[in-house]
Amino acid sequence: MDFAWLEVTTLAERPDRLPLIATFDDPAVAPFLYQDPVSAALFPALVTRHPEYTLLAVERDSGRPAGMLCALPFTAIDGELPSGGYDAVLLSAAGHALTGTKGADVSALFATVRPDLRGRAVSGHLVERARRNAAALGHTALVAPVRPTQKQEQPLVPLELYVARRRPDGTAEDPWLRVHERAGGRFVAVAPHSMTITAPLERWREWTGLPFDTAGPILVPGGLGPVLCDPERDIATYVEANAWYRHDL
């Protein structure tokens, strides 16, 4: 597919494009997913610290931002991908920042495409460019705690079973998993607590429009799994599992 209409650069190559990151607004993303405290505290500063790992695609003709993929260097302890997934990568990258070092491994963490451009294979192009960028930076593999885009439609299905689901042609049933697999990625493990969000019930009511007045698991729009509600303590917790994929470069 021809992507000549797109210009893809790293933020290190085009630091002037850093403000464009804030222009990606996806109304389909559930509001509570922006409330992960680890991400809120660390993600923006770490992206700025490692601009060579963030790819930004813009339309050549208009200059409008088209898509973005953010990755960060981290360290996989003893070669094992962390069960903490997304949050664990951020914490590892932050630990390196405190000591003035850089992790030996690299993980893609966040990718988005402008809604009106979806269905034009831009996401696959960004993953392929991220693979090439990681290799150019000296890495032998790119990993990612992948958040399957359609898992929210089946929140009670265990992630291991969901990842294993195939279409008749043998490709992954989930479109985002399919993008990674077509680019050369392979599923290696589940990150059972990739993201954890805990908040008072009133906040959950604001985010979801649900009453949150019953103890136990509650299914919420946009969640890959249920939120555990505890009215007695006025708190609810969402723990999201992601699927670790590995791209050998």
3-state secondary structure (DSSP) of residue 96: helix
Distance CA 166, CA 178 (A): 9
Q: What is the dihedral of CA 111, 114, 221, 194, to 10 degrees?
A: 10
Q: What is the pLDDT of residues 72-83, one digit of tens each?
A: 999 999 889 999
- Rounded Cα distance, 144 and 89, in Å: 10
Whether pLDDT at 3 is above 90: yes
Q: How many residues does the chain have?
A: 249
Please give the residue that has the higher pLDDT: either 217 or 77: 217
Residue 80: CB atoms within 10 Å: 8
Across 199-225, average pLDDT: 98
Q: What are the structural domain ranges in the chain?
A: 6-196+242-248
User: What burial class does residue 196 get, using C-beta atoms within 10 Å of its C-beta: 0-12 exposed, 13-18 middle, 19+ buried?
Assistant: middle
For the chain, how big is the Rg over CA atoms in Å?
18
Q: How confident is the model at residue 25 (pLDDT cuts 50, 70, 90)?
A: confident
With beta carbons less than 8 A apart as the criterion, state whether 15 and 135 touch: no
Do 241 and 157 touch, CB atoms closer than 8 A?
no
Which residue bears the tokens 């960060």? Answer: 72
Give the CATH fold of the 6-196+242-248 domain.
Aminopeptidase (3.40.630)
Q: Does pTM top 0.75 for this prediction? A: yes
| Cβ(85)–Cβ(193) below 8 Å | yes
Q: What is the pLDDT of residues 152-197, one digit of tens each?
A: 999 999 999 999 999 999 999 999 999 999 999 999 999 999 999 9
Positive or negative torsion for Cα 109, 52, 101, 42: negative
Are 87 and 196 in contact, with CB atoms under 8 Å apart?
yes
